[in-house]
């Protein structure tokens, strides 16, 4: 069982990643840290707590982190997730207290306490991790692995032609993290290639459980408006990242490259530069998941929503 801290800007697909991370026996979620991103910050905090309550994990502490990017301003993604992040009509007030302390400081403290034992699952902008590294320069040596949902590798972005949302929202943080840490990257292009197909969505619509109802609610806006580029189906970027971390069986091809981020304001803000040919001479220290088993990923989601047992796919 891998010990994990989930760093999230909790909206629609973040909730599914968080539920999966809790429900699989492959991971042990020890803390959740919240970072500015998808929707207003306080809603993200409540969304995380509400999701944990749905999977009977309210004992997992939720730490509040950066309420804005390091340097630049950003816009929320309510056009994808709805106002509030959970489809627009669901705005829970859990009454659950946040844990004391600042999320970046908590990341540092836990990694110092258990060096080499904690994996960071980062499914939002990377502000919290960049701030944690500023507090502890040895942090890259104290973590086990860092998994990041972000970037657009050999594909168009989803917030601008050049950039994927998480990297675009705080490109300064993304650049610092990719420079400092050995990261495993799950990019927007892979998410498009492993999208949940219409027949999978039909199966989900037929499931009569609270988790399936929750999935339908949080994906309502994107299903009504359609995915980027007219995709027939919907992506689950954060759920995919959590699943790839938990289940190596889903990873079909992983390659290592030198990856950099354009942090400058302008047309290329948040562009992820991937050195496929090795022309920069920089170390190939970012692992990019280039192919994944989309059919088995869909089975993981279905099994989670139907039976709360995503691991059953691999038994």
Q: How far is CA 133 from the centre of its chain?
A: 19
Nearest to 48, CA basis, from 74, 17, 27: 17
Cβ atoms 17, 48 nearer than 8 A: no
The pLDDT score that the predictor gives to residue 28 is: 98
How far lies 215's CA from each of 17, 239, 275, in Å?
A: 11, 11, 37
Specify the pTM: 0.97
- Using the Cα atoms of residue 158, residue 163, residue 14 and residue 194 in order, give the sign of their dihedral: positive
Query: 178 is written with which tokens?
Result: 């990719």
Determine the pLDDT at residue 229.
66
Sequence-ordered alpha helix ranges (H) in 181-308: 188-193, 198-205, 210-218, 220-225, 237-246, 294-307
Token pair belonging to 95: 């009454």
Digits of tens for pLDDT over the chain (315 positions)?
999 999 999 999 999 999 999 999 999 999 999 999 999 999 999 999 999 999 999 999 999 999 999 999 999 999 889 999 999 899 999 999 999 999 999 999 999 999 999 999 999 999 999 999 999 999 999 999 999 999 999 899 999 999 999 999 999 999 999 999 999 999 999 999 999 999 999 999 999 999 999 999 999 999 988 776 678 899 999 999 999 999 999 999 999 999 999 999 999 999 999 999 999 999 999 999 999 999 999 999 999 999 999 999 998
Taking the C-alpha atoms of residue 173 and residue 177, their distance in angstroms, rounded to an integer, is 6
Provide the pLDDT for residue 277: 95
Report the 3 state secondary structure along 39-105: CCHHHHHHHHHHHHHHCCCCCCCEEECCCCCCCCCCCCCHHHHCCCCCCCCCCCCCCCCCCCCEHHH
Domains and CATH numbers, the chain: 2-314 (3.90.245.10)
């Amino acid at each position: 069982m891998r010990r994990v801290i989930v760093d999230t800007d909790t909206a629609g697909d973040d909730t599914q990643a968080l539920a999966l991370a809790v429900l699989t026996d492959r991971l042990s979620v020890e803390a959740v840290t919240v970072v500015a991103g998808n929707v207003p910050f306080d809603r993200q905090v409540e969304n995380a707590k509400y999701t944990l309550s749905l999977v009977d994990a309210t004992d997992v502490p939720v730490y509040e982190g950066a309420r804005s990017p390091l340097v630049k301003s950003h816009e929320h993604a309510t056009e994808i997730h709805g106002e509030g992040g959970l489809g627009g009509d669901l705005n829970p007030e859990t009454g659950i207290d946040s844990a004391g302390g600042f999320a970046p400081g908590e990341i540092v403290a836990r990694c110092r306490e258990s060096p080499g034992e904690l994996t960071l699952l980062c499914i939002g902008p990377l502000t919290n991790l960049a701030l944690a590294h500023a507090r502890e320069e040895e942090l890259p040596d104290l973590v086990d692995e860092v998994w990041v949902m972000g970037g657009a590798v050999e594909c168009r972005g989803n917030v601008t032609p050049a950039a994927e949302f998480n990297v675009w929202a705080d490109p300064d943080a993304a650049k610092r993290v990719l420079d400092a840490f050995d990261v495993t990257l799950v990019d927007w292009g892979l998410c498009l290639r492993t999208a949940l197909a219409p027949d999978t969505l039909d199966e989900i619509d037929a499931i009569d459980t609270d988790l399936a109802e929750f999935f339908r609610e949080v994906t309502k806006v994107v299903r009504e408006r359609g995915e980027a580029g007219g995709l027939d189906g919907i992506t689950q970027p954060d759920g995919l990242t959590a699943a790839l971390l938990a289940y190596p069986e889903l990873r079909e091809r992983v390659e290592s490259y030198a990856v950099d981020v354009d942090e400058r304001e302008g047309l290329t803000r948040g562009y992820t530069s991937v050195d496929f040919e090795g022309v920069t001479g920089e170390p190939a220290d970012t692992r990019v998941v280039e192919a994944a088993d989309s059919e088995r990923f869909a089975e993981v989601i279905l099994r989670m929503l139907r039976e709360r047992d995503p691991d059953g796919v691999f038994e």
